Amino acid sequence: QLDQQAAFDYAVAKVSEKPELIAPTVKGSQFKQPLLEFSGSCAGCAETSYARLITQLFGERMYISNATGCSSIWGGSAPATPYTVNRETGKGPAWANSLFEDNAEHGLGLALGQKTIRAKLKNYVEELAAKSDSEEIKAACAGYLDTFEDGAANTPATEKLVAALEKCGCDLAKKILLEKDYLSKKSVWIFGGDGWAYDIGFGGLDHVLASGEDVNVMVFDTEVYSNTGGQASKASNIGQVAQFAAAGKAIGKKNLAEIAMSYGYVYVAQVAMGADMNQLLKALTEAEAYHGPSLIIGYAPCEMHGIKKGGMQNCQQEMKRAVEAGYWNMFRYNPTLEHNKLSVDSKDPTGDYQAFISNEARYARLAQSFPERAKDLFAKAEANAKARYERLKKFGDFYS
Could you read off the pLDDT of 180-222 as tens digits, one per residue? 999 999 999 999 999 999 999 999 999 999 999 999 999 999 9
H or E element, residue 296: strand 294-299
Q: Which of 12-16, 120-124, 205-209, 372-376 has the lowest mean pLDDT?
A: 12-16
Q: How confident is the model at residue 174 (pLDDT cuts 50, 70, 90)?
A: very high
Task: Give the number of other Cβ atoms within 10 Å of residue 266's Cβ.
Answer: 23
Q: How confident is the model at residue 31 (pLDDT cuts 50, 70, 90)?
A: confident
Question: Residue 154 domain-assigned?
Answer: yes
Question: Residue 355 domain-assigned?
Answer: yes
Q: How confident is the model at residue 21 (pLDDT cuts 50, 70, 90)?
A: confident
Q: What is residue 213's predicted lDDT score, i.e. its pLDDT?
A: 98
Summary mean pLDDT of the chain:
95
Do 366 and 263 sit in the same domain of this protein? yes
Do 185 and 234 sit in the same domain of this protein? no
Do 100 and 185 sit in the same domain of this protein? yes
Do 279 and 365 sit in the same domain of this protein? yes
Which domain-ending residue is among 191, 211, 231? 191
Q: What angle do CA 212, 94, 186 make, to 5 degrees?
A: 40
Do 287 and 152 sit in the same domain of this protein? no
Do 241 and 316 sit in the same domain of this protein? yes
- State pLDDT tens for residues 83-123: 999 988 999 999 999 888 899 999 999 999 999 999 999 99
Nearest CA-CA partner of 314 in 353, 370, 360, 279: 360
Do 266 and 386 sit in the same domain of this protein? yes
Do 187 and 273 sit in the same domain of this protein? no
Contact (CB, 8 A) for 326 and 353: yes
Would the pLDDT of 17 be above 90?
A: no
| Angstrom distance (rounded) from CA 20 to CA 221 | 34
Would the pLDDT of 385 be above 80?
A: yes
Do 256 and 358 sit in the same domain of this protein? yes
Do 144 and 226 sit in the same domain of this protein? no
Which domain-ending residue is among 171, 191, 211? 191
Question: Residue 199 domain-assigned?
Answer: no
Number of domains in the chain: 2
Would the pLDDT of 169 be above 90?
A: no
Q: Cα Rg for the chain, rounded, in angstroms?
A: 23
Strand order in the sheet with 62-66: 94-96, 62-66, 187-193, 216-221, 294-299, 267-271, 331-333, 342-344
Question: Residue 179 domain-assigned?
Answer: yes
Which domain-ending residue is among 147, 168, 191? 191
Helices (H), the chain: 5-10, 26-29, 46-58, 70-76, 103-131, 135-146, 151-168, 171-177, 194, 202-211, 256-261, 277-289, 315-324, 353-358, 361-369, 371-398
Question: Residue 227 domain-assigned?
Answer: yes
Contact (CB, 8 A) for 93 and 126: no
Q: What is residue 1's predicted lDDT score, i.e. its pLDDT?
A: 65
Question: Residue 175 domain-assigned?
Answer: yes
Roughly how many angstroms between the first and final C-alpha of the chain, as a whole number? 56
Arithmetic mean of pLDDT, 221-231: 93
For the chain, what's the residue count?
Answer: 400
Contact (CB, 8 A) for 389 and 327: no
Arithmetic mean of pLDDT, 39-47: 93
Question: Residue 252 domain-assigned?
Answer: yes
CATH number at residue 292: 3.40.50.970
Beta bridge partners of 187: 62
Question: Residue 198 domain-assigned?
Answer: no
Do 248 and 391 sit in the same domain of this protein? yes
Do 311 and 389 sit in the same domain of this protein? yes
Q: What is residue 371's predicted lDDT score, i.e. its pLDDT?
A: 96
Domain, as residue range, for 78: 66-191
